[in-house]
Amino acid sequence: IFVTKMLRPTTSCSHLSHHHSLCFDRTYDYSVVCPGPNLNMIVGANGTGKSSIVCAICLGLAGKTAILGRGDKVGLYVKRGFPKGSIEIELCKNGGKVVINREIHVENNQSLWMLNGRHCNQKAVEEEVKALHIQVSNLCQFLPQEKVGEFAKMSKIELLEATEKSVGPPEMYEYHCELKNFRNKERELENVVKERANFLEKAKQRNERNKHDVNRYYEKKRHLDVIELLEKKKPWVEYETTRKELEGIKRERDEAKRQLAALKQAQAPMLRKIQEIDNQLKPTEAQIKAKCKQKQDQLDRKHKEIEDIKQTLKLKQMEEEDHQKRISNTRRTINDLKEELAKVGDQPDVTPQINAINVELRRNQEERAKIEGDKADLRRERDNLYAECRSDDMNNLLNAKEEKLRDRHRDTHAALQWLRQNKNQFTGNVHEPMMLVINVREHRFAKYVETHISFHDLRAFVFQKKDDMEKFMTEVRDKMNLKVNSISAPEESCSRRPPSRNIESMRRFGFFTYLREMFDAPDEVMSYLCHQYKVHDVPVGNDQTKAMIKTVIEEPYLKVLYTTEERYTVKRSFYSNKISTSNSAVQPSQYLTITVDAEEKQQLEQQLKVKYSGVKAQTKLISDAAALDRRDNELLAEKKHLSEQKCNHLEQRKVRLTEHCKGLLKKAKSICKMQYDESLPEDLRNAFNKLPDTLDEIDAMLNEERSRAECFTGLSESVVEEYNRREQEINNLEKELEEKSNALNTYRQNISEAKERWLNPLKQLVEQINGKFSDFFRSIQCAGEVDLHAENEEEYDKYGIRIRVKFHSSTQLHELTAYHQSGGERSVSTMLYLMALQELNRCPFRVVDEINQGMDPVNERRVFDIVVRTACKETTSQYFFITPKLLQNLQYAEEMTILCVHNGPQMLSPNQWNERTFIERCLQKNAQT
């Protein structure tokens, strides 16, 4: 039961605990309202002060002024001309009652509160009101006159929240708020997981792209490590070579002494040997003639297939003449030896001459062996060339480069096969490995191009678009686990970039072209090589360039250049402008010498013919072998003449090499940072065993490793540091992503449980409201429905209650809005919805102020009947229905309380009013009428 004392200008008040009606003045000084427990009809003309009761209820229960919509300051609700006013509200509850007093001061808009006769603050009153489930801010409980129109304007979401607070169990709205918070946090976690996943994927892609540079850095470091080991081993090889040379000198000295002694005793045997030679020479001529005839017969039997066979016959005849001359020379040598034997002991030290003779003898022997080998090789080559010229199998060269690629790097060859079968997956141009698409214009140019471009890039695939490259690497590297290289061409083509100098201005140094002009390649490949290797700006020269190299390297615009057989790199100090150069040998081509187009095929055939002509010309040089034999005889004689002098020379040289060995050993240990008495460490010994053992091989390998290391430009340790840093970052991201994903799954489980706690009871509640609401509409020959509406079941902040009504049989159900229905229809719908909530009875009272405005008489009567029937039940909550008028002949109930509000100058004060006298006076007046 609810009792209220109205706003008044004085601080004193009286309290009435029984139920009665009061007549009020237009402006209240003091009034008391005693409502009934069920339906309270507050009736009075407009302006009499009916809504003042609503204001007193709201403000006395610590409601905000915004709820009333009449003024934003609480002082405005005190009677004009008075400094303060007060409200007293008595709330009846099980086990007792609650009395709330509020005193409002106009000057500062402040309030003094009392709860059950004790002073308190506003928060204590709010907590007491909340404990009794009173919600004056909820339009489903408290609907002032100024807020009637706003009820229809409430969104579905707002209506759901108001209904939950009004008739739902206390925890329902809390569960709803919890779900919305859970959903917001779930979204945050989903966004975090998605963001981390995207960031992780991009980090992996970036690191995968940088992995190529890291591999190149480590490969360069491997070359540098090999160079370091070679430079350490080289002095040891020099030392070992010199030591072996010293041992050889010792043995040679001992042998020379022995030979000298033997020569002094060899005069008699030498004469016998001369006689034997004379006897051997006689059958030699006949044997040579027979052999020549045999060769001639063989040539005849072959039907003179090759013209060069005749030349061979002539050569054999020339050999016969040579033998004759050799016989004569041998005889002269024997005579010379006889004369020299007597003079051996008197000759000065001629060790250098003997060494020179030995060198020349070895060279002649090697040359003779080479010439003999060349004879056989030339004959074989001549036959092969004929066969090559006649062969139609030239097209087999088309696969030669690919075979070399497969032998050298099978992963790249496997990726090539995949690419040829899946080229339709790519949107831009995709080129096979460079070594297959680069075509040198002349064979002699191949060695320069191949020296300048690293093998890693020669076997690399070239892509016009980065997306295609990433797709390709995902397939062949990630899925097929192949180790391949790929390159993305520059976005802006560099293939036609001009050189820094016109080649004509450089011809005075022997330069005749740039590397770019030596070969052809697709535009994207050429663009990359111009960008990365500057092939458009690397000149190639000849022997003239080599001869004047000191002048050439002074030119400031030259960084890398080639001579006939060497590659030069020129560096200029940033601080001192001092020039430093390094050079390495240009190695023969292994991959690019094979060209396979039709024009090249024709050129190759022509070259074979030219080469055959060259072979014919070279066979004429074989006649030089006879001259070598003659020179041998002369050198043998001179060697024997100088043998005695050799011994002394070998003894001077032994001493010199001994000192040289000591110096080389000291140098080798110093380079390896060893003590002089320290032996070679085992780790260095094992590393040295894997390297070449001769100086020539070490120098060649050093040049090769330096050339390869120089190809890896623009790489530093920061590339590896950045790669490792990002790898750690990726690991951390993966752990964080796993933690966030687990948290998200846990959150989703909590949401699922909270959803069950909230949604099932809510659905039941809405079904109950819908049943009542539909029944009410059917009772007025209309249709209405209430349902729980959600476009997305997981968006808990978007759930709402949708009211749909139909007032005419010719129309469909339409959602209740501020625009679709008339004002009267909205009032009917609002009233019936509130009545549908009435019987659920969670709130202690409801207030509806002038909601019947705009209703037609028929609907107003129907709604009134529903209000009376529903609000007068014993199980329903207290109801305040405020209206300026009532229709005649309405059906009233005994449980109703009628509170009439009057005003005017003749009004009695509240303490003078007598209800019984007023009724008797009305009955008498009616009887007289």
In this predicted structure, what is the pLDDT of residue 889? 84
> 103 vs 9, 66, 91, 535, 914, CA distance in Å?
10, 19, 18, 96, 29
Hey, what are 656's tokens? 């010199």
Beta strands in 498-654 (DSSP E): 513-514, 519-520, 539-540, 560-562, 566-572, 579-585
What is residue 460's predicted lDDT score, i.e. its pLDDT? 94
For residue 393, what are the CA distances in angstroms to 383, 401, 605? 17, 16, 12
Angstrom CA distances, 770 to 157, 208, 332, 785, 871, stand at 17, 61, 141, 6, 18
Residues in CB range of 240: below 8 A, 6 or more apart = none
**pLDDT at residue 124, rounded to an integer:** 93
CA distance 319 to 325: 10
Shortest CA distance to 414 belongs to which of 480, 486, 479, 485? Answer: 480
Model confidence, pTM: 0.41
Query: What pLDDT does 355 receive?
Result: 67
**Cα 614-615-621 angle, rounded to 5 deg:** 95
> For the chain, how many residues are written?
929
The 3-state secondary structure of 447-506 reads HHHHHHCCHHHHCCEEECCHHHHHHHHHHHHHHCCCCCCEEECCCCCCCCCCCCCCHHHH
Question: What pLDDT, in 10s, does the model give residues 170-190?
Answer: 788 888 887 788 777 777 777
The residue type found at 784 is: G
Tell me how far the alpha carbon of residue 564 is from its chain's centroid.
45
Q: What parts of the chain have a pLDDT lower than 50?
A: 1-26, 267, 285, 303, 305, 341, 344-347, 386-395, 397-398, 596-598, 601, 605, 608, 612, 615-623, 625-626
Q: What is the predicted pLDDT for the residue at 11?
A: 28
pLDDT tens digits for range 108-163 = 889 999 999 999 999 999 999 888 888 887 777 787 766 666 676 778 888 888 88
Q: What local confidence, expressed as pLDDT, does residue 514 receive?
A: 95
The Cα 218–Cα 136 span in angstroms is 77
**252-261 own/partner pairs: CB under 8 Å, 24+ apart:** 252/650, 253/647, 253/650, 253/651, 253/654, 256/643, 256/646, 256/647, 256/650, 257/647, 259/643, 260/344, 260/643, 260/644, 260/646, 260/647
Q: Report the distance separating Cα 770 and Cα 813, nearest Å.
A: 14
Tell me the angle at which helices 695-711 and 170-264 cross, rounded to the nearest 10 degrees: 150
Contact of 787 with 766, CB cutoff 8 Å:
yes
